[in-house]
Amino acid sequence: MSEMLAALRSFNEEPAEARRPYYSRDGQSRVRYHSNFDLFRSPAAIWRDTLYLDMAPTGPSPEEIPPACRGIAVEFTREVQRLGGTLFELLSEALGLHRGFLEQREAGCLEGLSVVGHYYPASPQPQLTMGTSRHTDPSFLTVLLQDSVGGLQVLHRLRRDDQPVWVDVPAEPGAFTVNVGDFLQLLSNDRFRSVEHRVLSKSVGPRVSVACFFRPHGAAAAARVCAPILVGDGAASPPRYRSATVEDLIVHYRDKALDGTSMLDHYRI
């Protein structure tokens, strides 16, 4: 975990000439590096740079990965996939299904994994920008590793009738933060809820984090259909969303940009 954070920091602090070959806004590229995936669509720019590594089911060749991350990225991916398998087994049981349901071909939650490294430089005027605007994740699950700088917040309702408030998520050494994503909320028919969160810009830094998104990509995303799972009496719990492919969900998420609304509103029945 510490090696992965150090590798991403090392890459981001290389000269611009060393990083330039990886710059791309082509969503089909398995390795791409840029700022603001929703540039020119979101209300405001965010204060971070991002390296995307689409590692599963088919990852990039070692030569495609920046040298600073080349060795550790493959090992880190393998361990996060193992963790994801355990998490999806537990979530399957929580839904009253057999342990392998969410990770096997019925749902395919373990089909793909994108390892996304964020680098947030210290901001001279943190009150004028956000590290990341409020949003939920386009994934089944997101396993997040963050360094000790902090800044992550979740929108939390302390009691049912209270107004939600932003709550700090402290960075615990050696720990992951796990977020339910929009795809799992749709799949579970609202039994699991995606987590609305944001990252504050700070005057100290840099802040480095690694978000591991469990979601298919490429041909697998076009083939994988997300539909609500109805357990027991379907009439008592009718579907709350219409079905969609993962590719459609991702395209809508990118087109919508980080505008503070839920991607799932578009699919709600």
Q: What is the pLDDT of residue 260?
A: 73
Pairing mode, strands 152-156 and 197-200? antiparallel
Q: What is the pLDDT of residue 245?
A: 94
Summarize pLDDT for 98-132 with one digit per residue, the tens: 999 998 766 789 999 999 999 999 999 999 888 98
Q: What is the pLDDT of residue 236?
A: 58
Q: What is the pLDDT of residue 27?
A: 82
Enter the pTM of the model. 0.92
Q: What is the pLDDT of residue 141?
A: 97
Q: What is the pLDDT of residue 85?
A: 95
Q: What DSSP string describes 90-131?
A: HHHHHTTS-TTTTTSTTT-TTS-EEEEEEEEPPPSSGGG-EE
Q: In what order do the strands lie in the sheet with 141-146?
A: 31-34, 49-56, 113-120, 207-214, 141-146, 177-180
Domains of the chain, with CATH numbers?
1-266 (2.60.120.330)
Q: Which stretches of the chain drop beneath a pLDDT of 70?
A: 105-106, 232-236
Q: What is the pLDDT of residue 262?
A: 86
Q: What is the pLDDT of residue 105?
A: 65
Q: What is the pLDDT of residue 207?
A: 95
Is residue 50 within 8 A of residue 117, CB to CB? The reply is yes
CA 184, CA 213: separation in Å to the nearest integer?
A: 12
Q: What is the pLDDT of residue 233?
A: 52
